[in-house]
Amino acid sequence: MTKDAFVALVTCFNDDETVNYAATRAQVRRQVAAGNNIMCAGTNGDFTALTFDEKVRLCAEVVEEVGGKARVIVNAGMPATFETVLLAKEFARIGVDGIAVITPFFIQCTQDGLIRHFSTVADAVTTPVYLYDIPARTQNHIEPATAKALASHGNIAGIKDSGGAQETLEAYLQVSREMPGFEVYSGPDHLILWALGNGAAGCISGLGNVMPETLAAILAGFNAGDDKAAEAAQEAFGAFRKDLYGLGYPPALVKRALYVMDPSVGASRQPALPPDPEQDRAIAALLVKHGLMAGAPA
């Protein structure tokens, strides 16, 4: 089976903090040209800062821009099941290929509560639903046994693991071995090649916003059986990741690195901190070091 790369697309903003849909479309074109699929309105897409209507329009603009040339998954997850279902229905109407549902945040959930939440969403649409686990941000974790229980639902197609721990990813992969048709997508950028080799259906990458061609090269090498090419691309990807994430919070740094390369991306909405010129200079130096930018800005 051919493995797929998705990029957890950034959402671009204007200086007045309104969504810059034109700039976001440009990022979509850049990713599709590299050979990557799109996930929008996720963690890297500032989904918590977007209104309901903005998410719906963002999804529609992304789907239109992709024009069938790649797959599109969109995150519908919110703390309340009710709003998550409303968003999921809108995204299904637009015609996405999959609907990701991040675990509820702010509200502490039991595993039974998570099963009920995800099942309710999956019952409400016919578009395939993907569980989305990122416990460091939501404080709710989908236990592997819970993932296995949900995998028996006819409209739950898989899970995105953004926990960062190899042992958790391995546990989800074991679920996929026991439950045919349940796909696992790796979120941690340093584990992409390992995950592919151990049965993952693909990856959903934040760092791919900055290095789309390198991300695509990991998948292309793996799919072609060219281990050396895949390993070289993963090594380059991992080296930049280590340097960039050493500066602070990964999603913010991904977006800021992209901004240094292309200011049309804009800053994130408040309460995100305003840009730090000193940090921008450090990011620019890393981009130059890794051959991602010709020279540091003046």
Active site residue 245: no
Domain encompassing residue 49:
4-226
pLDDT band at residue 297 using 50, 70 and 90 as cut-offs: very low
Residue 264 lies in a domain: no
When the pLDDT of each residue in the chain is averaged and rounded to a whole number, the result is 97
pLDDT of residue 290: 98
Q: Is the pLDDT of residue 168 over 70?
A: yes
Active site residue 69: no
Q: Is the pLDDT of residue 128 over 80?
A: yes
Residue 193 lies in a domain: yes
Q: Is the pLDDT of residue 22 over 50?
A: yes
CA dihedral angle for residue 21, residue 27, residue 30, residue 32, rounded to 10 degrees? -80
Of all residues in the chain, what percent carry a pLDDT higher than 90?
Answer: 95
Of all residues in the chain, what percent carry a pLDDT higher than 70?
Answer: 99
Q: Is the pLDDT of residue 298 over 50?
A: no
| Section 227-238 average pLDDT | 98
| Section 251-262 average pLDDT | 96
pLDDT band at residue 274 using 50, 70 and 90 as cut-offs: confident
Q: Are 12 and 266 spatial neighbours (Cβ–Cβ below 8 Å)?
A: yes
Place of tokens 């240094």: 260
Residue 94 lies in a domain: yes
Q: How many domains in the chain?
A: 1
Kindly name the residue from 3, 55, 160, 255 that is annotated as catalytic.
160
- Cis check: omega of the bond before 104, within 30 degrees of 0: no
Q: Is the pLDDT of residue 195 over 90?
A: yes
| Section 67-74 average pLDDT | 99
| Section 181-210 average pLDDT | 97
DSSP 169-235: HHHHHHHHHHSTT-EEEE--GGGHHHHHHTT--EEEESGGGT-HHHHHHHHHHHHHT-HHHHHHHHH
Q: Is 107 annotated as a binding residue?
A: no
Residue 296 lies in a domain: no
Place of tokens 């236990």: 143
Q: Is the pLDDT of residue 174 over 80?
A: yes
CATH number at residue 61: 3.20.20.70
pLDDT of residue 227: 97
Q: Is the pLDDT of residue 231 over 90?
A: yes
Residue 256 lies in a domain: no
pLDDT of residue 275: 84
Kindly name the residue from 21, 130, 132, 172 that is annotated as catalytic.
132
pLDDT of residue 100: 99
Q: How far apart are CA 80 and CA 68, in angstroms?
A: 31
Q: Is the pLDDT of residue 65 over 60?
A: yes
Amino acid at 257: A
Residue 109 lies in a domain: yes
Residue 57 lies in a domain: yes
